[in-house]
Structure 1
């Protein structure tokens, strides 16, 4: 299975942190360079499907995963490990120096930007363990026991933010690296944490060293003091070791190897001065590992990056706020205009109503006039009737007169 960043540029799912580290040297399994990370099985040419390399079909996926996570990998192993914690990576780097006597100048720390790879290129160890632990349930060395060790036993302190890749991964153009010696020479010791355990020639329990360093966060009464110079040194160190593109996240990580104030104004101010305009605000939204509460150094880093995102995006947000206020003002003006228009319409309506009232009044007047006319007509009729009566009377009088004249003859 080959993964190529150029084939797909979509962001990873939220479970995968933005940046992952890998420590390697000449004794490490598989191949790790600035252009490729490939498993032993891939290098050996085994036909691969998922985590099961068919080079040895007798081994089942659960068994193969368990062997890899317990450092029992053989040439058939198809997995390569990464961590989301700079603290874990550096501790393991010093361990390999003491364990194998490998010079620090030959041990490399590789960093990749997971957002440049296809989804599911990087798999969370706990996700895989959880899916396969029911196939390997019993015994102290079972996957079920390993799951409990990383999530429940002693509060899950043996969780190291491990992620896995399969087969071949093309990391060219999406990664950077520095040797452990370069990290030291450029000033790693000046950041306050002595990661290397110097109590013995070799401490095979390097995981316990990580737990010890993390407990220092709990024991610290007050956050470490910060100065402008120390923050600028961290940024300079990150640029020298990994290049300008990686300076912001790596500097933020190295400053969080010990307890810091959550909203340290010194860090925020210097980062804003150094990086304003160089990064989009999306750099702040780091994927939050579900187990991050067991990783105080990663938890601090995530919070810092979130706060930095708001600070670095402040000018842009301010511009958006201004634009928004202008739009709101324009909308308010339009609303006022609409209100005025509505008022004018209401006035016109009132005028129309008044006109209608006047018309009604005129109609009433006309009606009254008509009534008066009718009355006049009635009066006229009455007059006519009276006239008719008078006429009748006259006619009667005439008739009576005529009759009387006739009778008189």
Structure 2
């Protein structure tokens, strides 16, 4: 069942649900769904679901790499899928790993999630954040026409450039980040904004990041880790250890958009008001990873 699920093959007994820790991957998937031979969904029908994993049961999500490592000895086909996850593109610097996590059976996410339609995300200015999304909108329907995985890898190329080779975040992109983020409830707006800034991969993100976050509701007790954290609690004094753990859990070496996201969050943390020692001892910061459902139906 696991092998067929990870290969996106239909199975009537499959009760697994796929999620991703990469907003970039989820956004490109929107355009894949529009051109899929099996689904052919419209932008109004496609929803982006973001879940606060910290408020869900521990170990509700399992990383695909961990599951494949556990069962690879009994399934040769599963070994091949695992090998693919570690494979580098022959054309680009990126790898075929996209931060997939699995949940099994019914997972009650009501009250722990937010949704926005693909239509509202696009109309909110997605094409101003990365022009490639507009190109994906022209994908034709049919098998093989939507270069989903390869498109993500190609979009990752900018993350491997020197900062001086990147462009500054445009005013239109800043406005788009704000408009898209505001489609979610206040607690979700800052993490969504940080992810969108990361996807834009600007030359300088300190100033636009701080401007955008000041325009959004302040979040003094909720910070975000872009890895999937079933439950991760750190104190303010543990931030260095937190970012190291976040990088490990998110497989950041092969997910540069997640590395960029962590860098954006570092900027936010460094510029945020620091609590007193007394407050630090009493305050627990609960962090969560925004994850996005990958519906195979």
Secondary structure of the equivalent of 1:164? strand
Aligned with residue 184 of structure 1, among 122, 126, 131: 122
Measure how far apart 1:67 and its partner are. Answer: 0.4
Q: 1:257 aligns with which of 199, 210, 223?
A: 199
- 1:309–1:271 distance in 2 versus 1, CA, 3 Å: farther
Between the aligned partners of 2:218 and 2:114, the Cα distance in structure 1 is 22
Q: In structure 2, do the counterparts of structure 1 residues 151 and 172 end up closer, same or farther at CA, with 3 Å as the change threshold?
A: same
Greater relative contact order structure (CA < 8 Å, 6+ sep): 2
State the shift of 1:232 in Å: 5.0
Residues 1:86 and 2:27 are matched in the alignment: no
Aligned partners of 1:186 and 1:276: how far apart in 2?
Answer: 18
Taking the TM superposition and a 5 Å limit, the aligned residue runs for 1:189-338 are 189-195=127-133, 196-197=135-136, 198=138, 200-202=140-142, 203-218=145-160, 222-226=165-169, 230-239=173-182, 241-261=183-203, 264-271=205-212, 273-274=214-215, 277-280=218-221, 282-283=223-224, 285=242, 287-288=246-247, 289-312=249-272, 314=273, 316-317=274-275, 319-320=276-277
On the 8 A contact 2:187/2:219 being kept in 1, the answer is no
Contact 1:258–1:297 (8 Å) recurs in 2: no
When the two structures are superposed, what TM-score results if normalisation uses the length of structure 1? Answer: 0.56
Structure 1 counterpart SS, 2:18: strand
Query: What is the number of residues matched between the two proteins?
Result: 252
**Secondary structure at 2:199 match in 1:** coil
Question: Deviation of residue 227 (structure 1)?
Answer: 5.2
Equivalent position SS for 1:260: coil
Pair 186,277 (structure 1): closer, same or farther in 2 beyond 3 Å: closer
Name the CA distance, whole Å, in 1 between partners of 2:193 and 2:251: 23
1:121 matched to 2:60: yes
Structure 2 residue aligned with 1:103: 42
| Alignment partners' CA distance in 2, 1:297 and 1:234 | 16
Distance 1:150 1:205, change over 3 A: same
Instruction: Give me the whole-angstrom Cα distance separating, in 2, the residues matched to 1:82 and 1:290.
Output: 13
Question: SS of the residue aligned with 1:105?
Answer: coil
Structure 2 residue runs without a partner (length 5+): 226-241, 281-297
CA pair 129-265 structure 1, distance change in 2 beyond 3 A? same
Q: 1:205 to 1:127 in 2, by over 3 A?
A: same
Range with bigger deviation, 279-288 or 266-275: 279-288
From 126, 139, 145, the counterpart of 2:80:
145
| CA deviation string 1:327-384 (max 9, x = no partner) | xxxxxxxxxxxxxxxxxxxxxxxxxxxxxxxxxxxxxxxxxxxxxxxxxxxxxxxxxx
Tell me the equivalent position of 1:112.
51
- Structure 2 length normalisation: TM-score? 0.75
Does 286-295 or 68-77 show the bigger shift?
Answer: 286-295
The structure whose Rg is larger is 1
Q: Please report how far the alpha carbon of residue 307 of structure 1 lies from its aligned counterpart in structure 2 after TM superposition.
A: 2.3
CA distance in 1, matches of 2:168, 2:28: 23
| Residue 135 (structure 1) aligned to one of 64, 74, 78 | 74
Please state which structure has a larger fraction of its residues in helix: 1
Alpha carbons of 1:244 and 1:229: their partners in 2 closer, same or farther (altered >3 Å)? Answer: farther
SS at 2:200 equivalent: coil
Q: Indicate how the Cα distance of structure 1 residues 282 and 216 shifts in structure 2: closer, same or farther if over 3 A, else same.
A: closer
Give the 3 Å change call, closer, same or farther, for CA 238–276 of structure 1 in structure 2: closer
How far apart in 2 are the matches of 1:234 and 1:300?
Answer: 16
